[in-house]
Amino acid sequence: MKEFDVIVIGGGHAGVEAACASSKIGCSVALVSMDKFAMGRLSCNPAIGGTAKGHLVREIDALGGVMGEIADKSGIQFRMLNRSKGPAVWSPRSQNDRTIYSQVALEVVERHKNVWIIAESVVSIETEDGKVIGVKNSHGELIKGKAVVLCSGTFLNGLMHTGLTSTSGGRFGEQPAVGITESLVQKGFESGRLKTGTPPRLHKNSINWDVLQEQPGDENPQPFSHQTDKSKFPFQQQISCSITYTDQNVHKILETGFANSPLFTGLIKGVGPRYCPSIEDKIVRFAEKLQHQLFLEPEGLDSDLIYVNGFSTSLPADVQLKAIHNIKGLENAEMIRPGYAVEYDFFPPNQVDLTLETKLIEGLYFAGQINGTSGYEEAAAQGLIAGINAALKIQNRPEFVLKRSEAYIAVLIDDLVNKSTDEPYRMFTSRAEHRLLLRQDNADRRLTKYGYDLGLIDKEWFFEVEEKEKKIFAGINYCNSTKIAPIKINGILLEKGSTGIESSETISKLVKRPEINLSEIISLMETSPETTPFFCEDEIKEQIEIELKYEGYIKRQHEAVDRLEKYEETKIPLSLNYSNLKALSAEGREKLQHVKPRSIGQASRISGVTPSDISILLVYLKK
């Protein structure tokens, strides 16, 4: 069999990004997946994005990844969440057609000419002298590779639970991956168990839609990908979702199944996601809540299946159905498939570096749920970074590591490496210290240069972003230097409940008022060749307005980043043996030796490392 530069194990969201990234950088790639037609399969909810997750998708796209493109081509509803709040937390989300998503994902992978899809199951990672040399398939054949990216999702020794019935599998109808965990544990890795869950699927024609609250998509939907042709978007027919609620009666019915719940009887050993709990977990943890919101979401344009978002469960099937029949609109619902929990192996992520290369085996990278994360978007982000770094390592090029101040992707990976996790990690905007700088709307401005330098983005796209940046800069300068007379603006100000002005004020000063938007002011100005380039495009205008309206906050966040930068630039040799630094606290020594941070900044974010430990490290490094 051909020897490859990079072997990617798993065709989920992490695997797709890893394979495409390594390929674009110029490596030959073997994408090993048990079923090529399950490429990028949306195992749970057929949706992409959401709070903070939408930021990740926009960043993946800005770096040259493919998730945004696939989501745009398969989306059947698009919404911008949190519009009533500040721009830092605006988050794009799409409901997607499950079948079309996988079809597009396969098409995207297959257009990369140096990617070979191998329909096989991998049973072990092969190494020599601490370096990866390839993988063995279930037939005992060696597939040789210079680097391996392991993106196993929920398949490592996967076990599905409904009530007290357990079935081997990584997801419904698919076999688990057996052997990889054991081969890695033999090599010195530490493994653990996590769990996730999925709700029941209902037949759409058995639901009384007329009594439910409709949730339509945005009137003018925005794509995820900066490269999507807006004149053709959206590509698919757009449809609505619906909302209903549980109540106290439903909760009592669900409680009757607790005695046969794998979650409460100890059958499930893995820890579930804190921020996306099962319905039975919600009832116990939030006993004071009288109801829980449920979203009824179509799985596709031609599908009869409805996903009951918010009702993830592993209770016995008969209890699930009885509870469903006591929910408004679902009184006669037909349950096509009950909900289930899936338990799987993961490897605590303190065992990987910021490049996602494992610390034990050179050339082996972990990406996705194997690192303890939850969600398609978190997995895709890791797959992209792992694929990039695997290719760069093979080409002897400098590694690629983003800073926390540059991207949510960096926040995600930095959290995993430094804090590790014993429960499924989910991204939130609150995890980022500088979230006003890391908005979803400016992902291209922040990251496209990196994608271009890496070879993931072509010149045309890069130059478009550069031109956009020039227009934003020119627009801001125009607003800072152009004044409006009271006679022109006071009418709008008073109409908006704002105080009128007595003398001319700059556009930028007026825009800072929360009740005033830039478009209203620009409509009063006479258009000219000077202003047209940066005020005729809504996207440019939005960026100018955000930069002006939040100028003070943005400036303070940049200053905070600059203050912390000296810590990030103070490098620590990876060969440093912390056990020899007796002045450090015992816990500090243990944690630092465990993580092997690259910089003082990274060391300061490790749980258990005190400010005193950091001071001692700084003195030692100065010496």
pLDDT at position 528 = 62
* Span(s) in the chain for CATH 1.10.150.570: 570-622
Over residues 548-589, the pLDDT tens digits come to: 999 999 999 999 898 888 888 899 998 899 988 889 998 999
Query: CA–CA separation, 467 vs 469, rounded Å?
Result: 5
For 596, the token pair is 């092997």
Closest CA to 108 of 9, 19, 211: 19
Half-sphere CA count of 529, side-chain side, radius 13 A: 0
pLDDT at position 530 = 61
* Span(s) in the chain for CATH 1.10.10.1800: 459-554
**122-128 and 293-298 strand pairing:** unpaired
pLDDT at position 531 = 62
Cis check: omega of the bond before 234, within 30 degrees of 0:
yes
Query: CA–CA separation, 103 vs 87, rounded Å?
Result: 33
Q: What are phi and psi of 605, to 5 degrees?
A: -95, 0
Query: CA–CA separation, 617 vs 620, rounded Å?
Result: 5
Query: CA–CA separation, 463 vs 152, rounded Å?
Result: 37
Tokens 């603006």 map to which residue? 489
Helix (H) or strand (E) holding 307: strand 305-309
pLDDT at position 21 = 98
What end-to-end distance do the CA atoms of the chain give, in Å? 53
Assigned architecture for domain 459-554: Orthogonal Bundle (1.10)
Query: CA–CA separation, 372 vs 379, rounded Å?
Result: 10
* Span(s) in the chain for CATH 2.40.30.260: 201-338
Closest CA to 141 of 126, 159, 162: 126
Tokens 């810590």 map to which residue? 567
Is there a contact between 1 and 143 (Cβ–Cβ < 8 Å)?
A: yes
Mean pLDDT by runs of 10 across the 623 residues of the chain is 92 97 98 93 92 97 98 98 92 97 98 94 95 94 97 89 84 83 95 91 98 96 94 96 97 92 70 74 89 96 96 93 98 95 92 96 97 95 98 98 96 93 89 93 97 96 95 93 91 89 93 90 72 76 94 92 87 90 90 90 89 90 83
What is the CATH code of the structural domain delimited by 201-338? 2.40.30.260
- Sign of the alpha-carbon torsion through 372, 373, 376, 377: negative
E strands, 169-208, are: 192-198, 201-203
By CB atoms closer than 10 A (0-12, 13-18, 19+), residue 517 is: middle
Tokens 């990030």 map to which residue? 568
Is there a contact between 386 and 149 (Cβ–Cβ < 8 Å)?
A: yes
Query: CA–CA separation, 576 vs 587, rounded Å?
Result: 16
Tokens 């042709």 map to which residue? 229
For 592, the token pair is 């630092």
pLDDT at position 264 = 66
Strand partners, 132: 127
Closest CA to 422 of 349, 353, 313: 349
- Homologous superfamily (CATH) for 4-153+347-454: FAD/NAD(P)-binding domain (3.50.50.60)
Query: CA–CA separation, 292 vs 323, rounded Å?
Result: 13
Tokens 């006479």 map to which residue? 526
Closest CA to 55 of 401, 313, 573, 408: 408
Closest CA to 10 of 252, 194, 174: 174
- Tell me how many degrees the CA angle 178-115-102 measures, rounded to the nearest 5: 70
pLDDT at position 402 = 97
CA 373 to chain centre: 9
User: Check: CATH 2.60.120.10 for 570-622?
Assistant: no
Query: CA–CA separation, 237 vs 67, rounded Å?
Result: 20
For 313, the token pair is 């469960």
Is there a contact between 352 and 371 (Cβ–Cβ < 8 Å)?
A: yes
Half-sphere CA count of 166, side-chain side, radius 13 A: 17
